[in-house]
Amino acid sequence: MIKKVTTHLSQNEALLFERSSPGKKGYQLPELDVPAVDAAEALGADNVRAEIPGFPEVSEVEAIRHFTRLSTWNYAIDHGMYPLGSCTMKYNPRINELVARIEGLAWAHPYAPESLCQGAMEVMARMEAALAEITGMDAVTLQPAAGAHGELTGILLIRALLEKKGNPRKKILIPDSAHGTNPATAAIAGYAVQNIRSSETGLLDVGALEKMVDQDVAALMVTNPNTLGVFEDHIMQAAEILHRKGALLYMDGANMNALVGMARPGDFGVDVMHLNLHKTFSTPHGGGGPGAGPVAVKKALEPFLPTPRLKRVGKKWAYDYKRKQSIGRVKAYYGNFGVLVRALAYILAHGGPGLRNATMDAVLNAVYIRKQLEPYFDLPYSSPNMHEVVFSDDRQARLGVRTGDIAKRLIDYGFHPYTVSFPLIVHGALMIEPTETEGKLEIDQFVEAMISIAKEVETDPEMVKNAPYHTRTSRVDEVTAARKPVLRWKG
């Protein structure tokens, strides 16, 4: 019945500090080729620390065993599918890791003379051009370090443009289906947030938008397809309404995996958007980061982009720091170059036709899952879905089982859970995004697992509510963790 996994021995492992012993060493430094210096003399006795209390002391063997054992307690894409909605957990190509480590790229210092950075600058220029083509926009900045960082940059760009026109305005409209970073970002950028409710079909209510957009509204932030995985088919009308009233359209690019090569935000009225390279462009999540959040803009916003910008001077690349209208820097140096290299390698591997095929497979996988699970889970909206599908737990909730419980039981079947309880506009949401890098076998096993759990909910709801059973750790006590936070080892 559960085909994908079985129980397996895994090593126990204590914390580093519990395995430490004074004098154990994992390193050896070369002999100094210059005279040693007395620290107290050179720095002043008050400035020299006694020791680093509690810091680990382990040998190399213990170090490698420690981290290896820890790693075996994780689930990862290399193990199997992550059906997490809006996360686009696709395969992380290993060639990306290799090229990012090539010495001339990995050891490039951001302040090395420009004549010795031409390779890095060429990579960035190539990346900017590729992303501009993919998004249908006019200019791209690679400076932001992550999606939320890109959102902040985007909103600051909007503010700068509106300020130049005489009135930065006061509010940003955000759909109630939006990711939490959207309102958080708007607040940091100094805007008030006004929620716009979705229509009965889960889409942007263009009628409501028409009424809401006034001289105080700076922009609307949308995700397209939205967080239900449904394309906002009135997006061009929405853009028209905003532009008519002097406001702008910001697009959260988290769901670009449904659009690359098939539709371009710049073509349907978007003024500024961010991309998540760690989603659409395959750079590894690494347990929570790093990412990169490039921002693409229409011409009107180009003068405000973060400084510096790349420019061509004869046959060479150079940086332009003389940008009077720029919003300034959002990060030191030029961006998460190492992540850009990985994303560019992904783009080169696919090429134009390949990117389009990937998008089509991503949508095919999601629709295939929807068709097979529709008889077992409630679909809150009937609109066609794209790269992800959102169910609600209504049917199971009547038997006392919620989306979170189903997700935990899915772990016993060998899968990482889907996104639980988001978006908030769906009651007890199950948000599923397979991505294009899942094959038919993996997806069929996922579908079988979900159907099996749906049946378990009917015959044995209590069992499902107390899952998972086969993991190293059973359900953790998040309540005590929050009531009495212990955030470090004390010994």
Partner 1 sequence: MRYLPKSDSERRQMLDVCGVGSPEELFAHLPEAVRLQRPLDLPPGISEYEIVEYFRSRAAENANGYASFLGAGVYNHYRPVLVDTVVSRGEFLTAYTPYQAEISQGTLTQIFEFQTMICQLTGMDVANASMYDGSTAVPEAAMMAVRATGKGRVLVAKSVHPEYREVLRTYAKHQGMPVAEFGYAADGGTLDLEDLERHMDGLTGAVIVQSPNFFGMVEPVKAAAEIAHKRGALLVVVFTEAVSMGLLTPPVDADIAAGELQSFAISPCYGGPYAGILATKEKFIRQMPGRLVGQTTDSRGNRAFCLTLATREQHIRREKATSNICTNQALIALMATVYMTVYGKEGLRELAEQNLAKAHYLAGKLKTRFSGKFFNEFVVRVEGRTPEDVNKALLKRKIIGGLPLGRFYPELADSMLLCATEMSRRADMDVVAEVLAGAAVESSGAIKEVLA
Partner 2 sequence: MYPDNFRYTKEHEWVLAEGDTGTVGITDHAQQELGDIVYVDLPKVGAKIAAGKSLGSVESVKAVSDIYSPVSGEVTAINESLADAPEKLNADPHGEAWLVKIRLSAPEEMQNLMTAADYQTYIGAEK
Residue 384 engages partner 1 in binding (rule: CB under 8 A): yes
| Binding-site ranges for partner 2 (CB under 8 A) | 421, 478-479, 482-483
14: left (phi over 0), alpha (psi -120 to 50) or beta: beta
Residues 199-238 touching partner 1, rule: CB under 8 A, are: 231, 233, 235-236
**Smaller CB separation from partner 2, 49 or 483:** 483
Q: Retrieve residue 251's tokens.
A: 């697009």
Task: Give yes or no for a contact between 242 and 211, defined as CB atoms under 8 angstroms apart.
Answer: no
Q: How far apart are CA 83 and CA 421, in angstroms?
A: 14
Nearer to partner 2, 32 or 482 (CB): 482
**Torsion over CA of 28, 31, 35 and 40, rounded to 10 degrees?**
10
Token duo for residue 187: 């607040």
Please report how close the Cβ of residue 400 comes to partner 1 at its closest, in angstroms: 19
Stretch 120-139 residues interacting with partner 1 (CB under 8 A)? 120, 122-123, 130, 133-134, 136
CA angle 143, 146, 148 (to 5 degrees): 110
47 binds partner 1 (CB under 8 A): yes
Q: How far is the CB of 245 from partner 1 (least distance, A)?
A: 21
Euclidean distance between CA atoms 177 and 94, whole angstroms: 35
C-beta of 331 vs 458, nearer to partner 1:
331
CA distance 337 to 110: 10
What's the rounded Cα separation, in Å, for the pair 107 and 123? 15
Subset of residues 69 to 88 that bind partner 1, contact rule: CB under 8 A? 70-79, 82, 84, 87
Contact with partner 1 (CB under 8 A) among 52, 200, 314, 322: 52
CB closer to partner 1 out of 406 and 458: 406
Nearer to partner 1, 345 or 390 (CB): 345
Is the Cβ–Cβ distance between 304 and 160 less than 8 Å?
A: yes
Q: Give the one entry of partner 2, partner 1, none that residue 438 binds, where binding means its C-beta sits below a cut-off of 5 to 8 angstroms depending on kind.
A: partner 1
DSSP 198: B
Q: How far is the CB of 360 from partner 2 (least distance, A)?
A: 36
Q: Which of residues 330-349 bind partner 1 (CB under 8 A)?
A: 330-339, 341, 345, 347-349
What does R_g of the chain's alpha carbons equal in angstroms? 25
User: Is the CB of 125 or the CB of 397 nearer to partner 1?
Assistant: 125
Residue whose tokens read 């950028």: 189
Nearest to 438 by CA among 8, 83, 54, 25: 83
Please identify, using beta-carbon distances, which residue of 356 and 458 lies nearer to partner 1. 356
Report the residue from 6, 111, 200, 375 that binds partner 1 according to the rule CB under 8 A.
111
Query: Binding mask 177-206 vs partner 1 (x if CB under 8 A, - otherwise)?
Result: --xxx-xxxxxxxx--x-------------
Q: Are the C-beta atoms of 146 and 184 separated by less than 8 Å?
A: no
149 binds, among partner 2, partner 1, none (CB under 5 to 8 A by kind): partner 1
